[in-house]
Amino acid sequence: MSDIKKFMYVNRKAPYGTVYALESLEVVLIGAAFEQDVSLVFMDDGVYQLAKGQDSSASDMKNFSPTYRALEMYDVEKLYVARESLEARGLTEADLIVDVELKSADEIRDLMEEQDVVLSF
């Protein structure tokens, strides 16, 4: 029996104004450091976490979006974005700082069912 668990982190909040996005990123890096099977889903306002050209100065928080580019170094390569959420906010894949796989709500639900652990931020 394998000790590797499938962890999915679902990011639903905008990147600044709360600690949810930053906390999620930190937990993802910890999970990856322990060689777990990590995937991330960005939906609702969470899609803004991956948007290019972020300006966090009004929030008094450091812009941590470049850290998403480092995920590949931690073997975190499963990045999914809810197609409907992206479209509803007028964004496209070209507006994102990393490569992602667009998924429908049904496809994301199916992915969630395959996980051992799903954490929502």
Q: What is the pLDDT of residue 2?
A: 66
Query: Residue 44 has which token pair?
Result: 């609702």
Query: Residue 6 has which token pair?
Result: 């499938």
> Residue ranges of the domains in the chain?
6-120
Using 50, 70 and 90 to split pLDDT, how confident is the model at 1? low
Q: What is the pLDDT of residue 64?
A: 87
**Which numeric CATH code is attached to 6-120?**
3.40.1260.10
Overall average pLDDT of the 15-32 stretch: 90
Residue 58's alpha-carbon distances to 17, 34, 36, 61, in angstroms, are: 9, 35, 35, 8
Overall average pLDDT of the 82-109 stretch: 97
Exposed e or buried b per residue across 95-105, where buried means at least 16 C-beta atoms within 10 angstroms of its C-beta = ebbbebeebee
68-87 pLDDT tens trace: 998 988 889 999 999 999 99
